[in-house]
Chains A and B, each alone.
Chain A
Amino acid sequence: MLVILLGFTSCNNGNQSGGKSGALSNNIAEKVYVAPGEYDSHYAFISGGYSGNVTVYGLPSGRMFKEIPVFSQFATSGYGYSEETKPMLNTSHGFVPWGDSHHPDISQSKGELDGRWVFINENNTPRIARISLTTFETEEIIEVPNSAGNHSSSFVTENTEYVVAGTRFSVPIPQRDMPIKDYKGNFQGALSFISVAPETGNMDIKFQVLMPGFNYDLSHPGRGKSHGWFFFTTYNTEEASTLLEVNASQNDKDFIAAVNWKKIEEYVNNGGGKMMPANYAHNLYDEHTHTATSTMKKEVRVVNPIDVPGAVYFIPTPKSPHGCDVDPSGEYIVGNGKLSANLTVHSFTKMLDAIEKEKFAGEAYGIPILNFEDVLAGVVEQPGLGPLHTEFDGKGNAYTTFFISSEVVKWKIGTWEVIDRKPTYYSVGHLTIPGGNSGKPQGKYMFAMNKITKDRYLPTGPEMEHSAQLYDISGDKMELLLDFPTHGEPHYAAAMEASIIKEQSQKIYKLADNKHPYAAKSDADTKVVRNGNEVHIYMTTIRSHFSPDNIEGVKVGDKVYFHVTNLEQDFDVPHGFAVLGQNNSELLIMPGQTKSSVWEPKQVGVWPFYCTDFCSALHQEMQGYIRVSAADSDVPIKWSLGEDIE
């Protein structure tokens, strides 16, 4: 009993140090207050983790604006349910309704965020998605073959030449039936360099580097002086296949793999590497047909790193490093050894020097290993427990999260001294500074994404949404401003100043540009067409009616396609569509857009359909009926709207 009481007391103390008391005296509330009708200064794109999606937030208010469906079906809009979007979730394993999204990254030009696209990786069935920042919709998803646990992804190079996807789990390449115990020396890890077309953003796997069978955990691009290189942390250099929590923690040091992608690109451009058979989906959404197509690709170019001398080196880094972060100048590569007491910072210049002098400690599978001491720039001594990730403010400071000791530690690049530390609540994973993964951070805010929420909010049963915490980092000391709940499990987030994105955000889809094959672009185009047992309904919506709204001649056993075009051309006037008993989600159709829902009626009757989005004062009147007759009936196809109106 005494123990329990003591436990409670210490909990409470912990709570009070959370800063509640300081809020009023320091006017913290004013710093996050965005008055009604006013805008936040920054966008944040936060990964949904096991929701498979991305959420859009405003900073500093911490208000959520939108959930963008990416790798998971989303009944709210019909993504992954509508005929047009089902192909987005196609893979070599068939239709996959769910994904685990991890690391969003905003496209860059000349090392600065350009606000055109957000890329994000799916960990479980390896894929990379590209989201448009004009429509805020997922436009493209490419599956990554030969990969498993697509975790060291999806980070872009400084001109978005590539979005890079590394494998966390090594696997047999190509996949084959073999004993698991034969992992060591036989499994491989693929690092995929996916080219991004400068105008369209379209993705294509340019090459995969087939590395030794380690776990490639996280990665970041070189920038500035180190542009052309990419850095990947590894763990499980022991190549264990079982009980990794013990067996992958044996080596004193694992590696950061430094990959000179410019060199490999040149090799590949000269015909290097070889095409190997593969099978992976490339899914592309066209904003004019409002329809996605899925194409299966049948081969991929692979490169054996030892065939390209000087392309790959291993930098020893203590104790299963997780985060692998490069400072804005490109000189420093921070390896956050999860099990290490110290933070290790490598020097790009020293690395080049050691390579030039060929000072190698040995090799692993033919890849040269550099000496730890030769590459080391400095060590941040005992800053905390369980370092995970580091971001930069562009003013010479770095901020590292510590999972076990639940804190963010600010330290100075070059002197490696700790300047400040602030607690997080609780067990922080990633942190984000707007522009933090670029040559030009827009430091003013930093937010920490925590894995454990516990007592921070009103309890909601055993499951709590994960908590994020916003800090002001404009002064010497970090200042905790705000707690806000997130959705799913945010791993990483990408954030930037609002100006560019705010201006380009699209308000409607132009009806004139609608190229959907089943669009009804005016009332004259509405019709119902039977083709065998398929019935296609070309339907329109405008405040506040469907056209047609009375449909007859459909029979049990038919496959009925509702192709609904929203004729509105006004900002933020979507209409919804649902029909009683459909084994499907609703459709939410944006102005100028066409979406299709399949309904296979099983019962004779007259079934209502209606608009699900409160669109106008007469929204409740926005409804219609579809008559379903017996399979052998001869009721003719008929459709109408307002026939008895004078």
Chain B
Amino acid sequence: MKKSLKFLTMIAIATLVSCGGDDKKKEEPGYGKKAPVKTEKKEPASKRVELSNKGVGPITSVTLAAEVDQEMAKHGMDVYTKMCTACHKADKKFIGPAPTGILSRRSPEWVMNMILNPEEMIKQDPLAKDLLLEFNGAPMANQGLSEEDARAILEYFRTLK
């Protein structure tokens, strides 16, 4: 009985080896090991610069004053802390991307539409779709913010450099 089991095991191993042998480029499975450090070859969606993309949603035009409205930014930080920090850290990647420097990569309209209309954005906006994949398929939650609050968050993001 023992012998036959060993024999079967050998056949099984042989089969596995021969299967694996055809595709040497295949990544090693990560089971039971520490997750390997990922090396992205293609530029990730989070680093892409798309300043003319306004996204999909209620916001079609936002005018930013030359100076940051500090009062509004303060309110924005308050709303952001209450409603967003479960998934976003200001300066580092968490569940979702960090907002620091976001306005050098995204239009103000895109940012506000992502806050106000995440369900449609991840279905219709190609960039938002790519971001969803990059961030492990965790879709952004719609926190039901008013346009005013979303605008204030945008102003707060202007202060994050």
Contact = CB atoms under 8 A, between A and B. Distances in A.
A547 B86 CA distance: 8
Given A617-B137, A645-B93, A645-B94, A542 B86 contact: yes
Contact of B86 (A540, A570, A573, A618): A540
B44 to A, nearest CB: 13
B82 interface: yes
Q: Which of B82, B139, B142 has the most CB of A within 10 A?
A: B82
B140 to A, nearest CB: 9
B40 to A, nearest CB: 12
A540 B143 CA distance: 14
A646 B141 contact: no
Interface string B140-161: 0111110000000000000000
B139 A542 contact: no
**Interface majority SS on A: helix, strand, loop or mixed?**
loop
A646 B93 contact: yes
Contacts of A540: 86
A185 interface: no
Given A511-B83, A524-B85, A570 B142 contact: yes
B94 A524 contact: no
Interface string A12-51: 0000000000000000000000000000000000000000
B136 A618 contact: yes
Contacts of B95: 545
Interface residues of B, number: 19
Contacts of A522: 81-83, 85-86
Contacts of A616: 138-139
Contacts of A547: 86
A569 B137 contact: no
Interface in B74-126: 81-83, 85-87, 92-95
Contacts of A543: 138-139, 141
Contact of A524 (B81, B87, B139): B81
A543 B85 CA distance: 12
Contacts of B136: 618
Given A543-B138, A543-B141, A646 B92 contact: yes
Contacts of A645: 93-94
A521 interface: yes
Contacts of A523: 85-86
Contact of A569 (B87, B94, B138, B143): B143
A569 B83 contact: yes
A544 interface: yes
Nearest to B119: A570
Contacts of A521: 82
A568 interface: yes
A617 B81 CA distance: 25
Contacts of B86: 522-523, 540, 542, 545, 547, 567
Interface in B128-142: 136-139, 141-142
A523 B94 CA distance: 12
A198 to B, nearest CB: 31
A646 B37 CA distance: 10
Contacts of A646: 92-93
A570 B142 CA distance: 6
Contacts of A243: none
Q: Which of B83, B93, B141, B143 has the most CB of A within 10 A?
A: B141
Contacts of A573: 141
Nearest to B145: A569
A611 to B, nearest CB: 14
A618 B138 CA distance: 7
A642 interface: yes
Given A511-B82, A542-B87, A568 B93 contact: no
A642 B93 CA distance: 11
30 contacts: A521-B82, A522-B81, A522-B82, A522-B83, A523-B85, A524-B81, A524-B85, A542-B86, A543-B139, A543-B141, A544-B138, A545-B86, A545-B95, A547-B86, A567-B83, A569-B141, A569-B142, A569-B143, A569-B144, A569-B145, A570-B143, A570-B144, A616-B138, A616-B139, A617-B138, A617-B139, A618-B136, A642-B94, A645-B93, A645-B94
Given A543-B141, A618-B136, 6 more contacts: A522-B82, A522-B86, A523-B86, A544-B138, A545-B86, A642-B94
Q: Which 3 A-B pairs have the closest CB atoms?
A: A569-B144, A542-B86, A569-B143
